[in-house]
Amino acid sequence: MSQPFTRAGKSAVSLLAIALLSAAALRAQQLVVSASNHQVRLPEVIEIPLAEARQHIPDIDHRVAENVLNHEKVVTQLYTSPGSDAPDKLLIAVQLPASGKLTIDFVPSDNGAPPPPLVFGREAPERKDDFAWENQYVTYRVYGPALEATGEIASGIDVWSKRVPNFVIDSFYKHDAEGQRTHNPKLSYHVDDGVGLDSYQVGPTRGCGGTGVLSGGKLWVSKNYTHLKQLSDGPVRFEFELT
């Protein structure tokens, strides 16, 4: 067995240790994540330098992670940092109990399908060129240049509230378009059908996280985004750049 290593990632987990077990004995490499405090932790993402992980798991590109206790899949991602030409970090989505420990096996990827992604996003040509992204809890969207050309200008960030952990971007746009085609207002994503709804009218406000410059007692804001560059599409981290 190799010597374990420790690293504190952005998750502020108190201890990370990867131990390489004998492939002949178990055919699995393990990651042990533990928390020393007594508080129940929220879901979080651990970052491990990929080069360091590959020292212990050389074929990590061809393995999936699973909880050693119940064999449930753990969502991971080989992530390429901005400015890097290739993946350089291993991202692992975890949730630890108070003072708890999670042991993860890295097993051959032919042991079933990977777990569903935790994030999703896309440009929405069916609604001009909205750009929307979501996790299990909330959905956000911003407006693009095609919509600005119609006179609808709003650079604040819109929020769709959700009652379920499902991804809703595709279904919301589909039902809303069908409602407009059939003149059925109940299909609008502004109406809560038990799943959630677009609950804001952002207008000239900043919405949830939109930026602006306050100068001379006036708030100066941008117009709709002009260019979109998608940097990472999950399954742990969804990252993009709007200008």
- Exposure string of 126-154, with b = 16+ CB inside 10 Å and e = fewer, is ebbbbbbbbbeeebbbbbbeebbeeeeeb
Question: Domain range holding 66?
Answer: 15-108
What span, in angstroms and rounded, lies between the C-alpha atoms of 63 and 52? 16
pLDDT digits (tens, 9 = 90+) for 173-183: 999 999 999 99
Residue-wise pLDDT for 114-165, tens only, equals 789 999 999 999 988 999 999 999 999 999 999 899 988 889 999 999 999 9
| Domain-embedded: residue 2 | no
> Is the domain of 101 the same as that of 147?
no
Q: Are residues 64 and 151 in the same domain?
A: no
Q: Could you tell me if 51 and 153 lie in one domain?
A: no
Q: Clarify whether residues 127 and 85 are in a common domain.
A: no
Domain assignment present for residue 180? The answer is yes
What is the pTM assigned to this prediction?
0.83
Shared-domain flag, residues 99 and 145? no
Domain-embedded: residue 115: no
Domain assignment present for 4: no
Is the pLDDT at 1 greater than 50, yes or no?
no
pLDDT tens digits for range 44-56: 899 999 999 998 8
Residue 130 and residue 67 in one domain: no
Q: Which residues pair with residue 34 across a beta bridge?
A: 15, 101
**Rounded Cα distance, 227 and 1, in Å:** 50
Please enumerate in sequence order all residues whose Cβ is within 8 A of that of 135, keeping only pairs 6 or more positions apart, or say none. 118, 119, 238
Does a structural domain hold residue 3? no
Q: Residue 60's domain is classified under what CATH number?
A: 2.60.40
User: Pick from 108, 133, 160: which residue ends a domain?
Assistant: 108
For 46-67, b/e burial (b = at least 16 CB within 10 A) is bbbebeebeebbeebeebbbbe
| Residue 212 near residue 221 (C-beta atoms within 8 A) | yes
In a shared domain, residues 156 and 79 = no
- Quote the number of domains for the chain: 2
pLDDT above 90 for 235: yes
3-state class of 40 per DSSP?
coil
pLDDT in tens, 31-84: 888 877 777 778 889 999 999 999 888 899 888 999 999 999 999 999 999 889
pLDDT at site 168: 97
Which of 2, 39, 73 lies closest to 14, judged by CA?
39
**Domain identity same for 101 and 142:** no
End-of-domain residue from the set 80, 108, 136: 108
**Residues 18/30, Cβ–Cβ less than 8 Å:** yes
- Asked if residue 189 belongs to a domain, the reply is yes
